[in-house]
């Protein structure tokens, strides 16, 4: 069993549980390692955050599949945190979804969502957000399932219909994605308990929600509605931007490095870079000693 498969099984255990948890919004190897050390059950890599991290660009489908998969691979390689990915619309049609699953599965992710938003923005209507047909959305889910090699990789059908059309449309779409074989369902933009009740009544699959309203901040209520992941947004990346800006500005304005506040100390830096593990490897492999295997022959 590979490490990726073990992490996928752990992610499935979270989805099969009876409580709702908040995933950690991560964006690189260090942020994922911090989340793991703190004790988060799952990490979440969003397309918007990946675009900011890799390109310094907004969430306008500017990031390529290869760039996104490479960033996911770096995160997965850094530790043992199951990673759920927002794979947007699969970077094209159902055939492109197949390529998306191939790349992200090989990157080591535990799960990925495919959404039914019409992307990228259309000429003449760049700010109009619309949805593909339910049939096309279901075909994308079917293509994703057909592409995966590890049956433990979690395929999630996602819709933003609750924010674009209505909760009834969201429930119909998610029901179709369940029928297509999705392992879990992702509803974005649910604002009220009434809307979530409508969506939850239409499926028995684990639910993931994001961009939700104040009414839905109760984890006990969400757990009873079979919600297993509730995204809180992507504040860690915004916090890192603010911290970097403040530090660089203070230095530019003449503050001595010794005067900086809220800087990670040596203990934390050593922990997040796994310094002890690498020091052990240096002792084992770079001290110029004859390998034990050679001495015993």
d(CA 297, CA 291): 11
**Would the pLDDT of 193 be above 90?**
yes
Fold for the domain defined by 3-239: TIM Barrel (3.20.20)
Q: ∠ CA 212-166-97 to the nearest 5 degrees?
A: 75
Residue 21 has phi, psi (to 5 degrees) of -125, 160
d(CA 88, CA 86): 6
Tell me, what's the pLDDT at 159?
Answer: 98
pLDDT digits (tens, 9 = 90+) for 124-162: 999 999 999 999 999 999 999 999 999 999 999 999 999
Mean residue pLDDT of the chain comes to 95
In this prediction, residue 290 has a pLDDT band, given cuts at 50, 70 and 90, of: low
Tell me, what's the pLDDT at 292?
Answer: 59
Tell me, what's the pLDDT at 291?
Answer: 57
Residue 127, classified by CB atoms within 10 Å of its CB into exposed (0-12), middle (13-18) or buried (19+), is: exposed
């Amino acid at each position: 069993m590979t490490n990726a498969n073990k992490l996928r099984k752990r992610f499935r255990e979270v989805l099969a549980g009876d409580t709702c948890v908040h995933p950690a919004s991560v964006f690189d190897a260090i942020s994922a390692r911090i989340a793991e050390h703190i004790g988060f059950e799952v990490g979440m890599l969003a397309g918007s955050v990946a675009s900011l991290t890799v390109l310094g660009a907004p969430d306008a489908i500017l990031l390529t599949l290869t760039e996104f998969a490479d960033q996911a691979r770096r995160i997965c390689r850094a530790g043992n945190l199951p990673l759920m990915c927002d794979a947007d619309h699969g970077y094209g049609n159902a055939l492109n979804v197949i390529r998306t699953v191939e790349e992200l599965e090989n990157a080591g992710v535990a799960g990925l969502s495919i959404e039914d938003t019409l992307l990228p923005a259309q000429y003449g209507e760049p700010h109009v957000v619309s949805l593909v047909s339910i049939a096309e959305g279901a075909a994308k889910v079917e293509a994703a399932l057909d592409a995966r090699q590890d049956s433990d990789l979690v395929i999630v059908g996602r819709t933003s219909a609750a924010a674009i059309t209505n909760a009834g449309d969201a429930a119909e779409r998610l029901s179709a994605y369940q029928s297509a074989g999705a392992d879990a369902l992702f509803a974005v933009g649910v604002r009220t308990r009434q809307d979530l009740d409508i969506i939850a009544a239409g499926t028995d699959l684990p639910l993931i929600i994001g961009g939700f309203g104040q009414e839905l901040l109760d984890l006990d209520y969400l757990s009873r509605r079979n919600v297993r992941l509730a995204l809180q947004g992507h504040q860690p990346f915004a916090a890192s931007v603010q911290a970097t800006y403040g530090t660089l500005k203070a230095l530019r304005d003449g503050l001595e490095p010794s005067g900086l506040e809220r800087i990670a100390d040596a203990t934390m830096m050593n922990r997040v870079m796994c310094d002890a593990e690498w020091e052990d490897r240096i002792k084992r492999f770079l001290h110029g000693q004859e390998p034990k295997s050679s001495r015993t022959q």
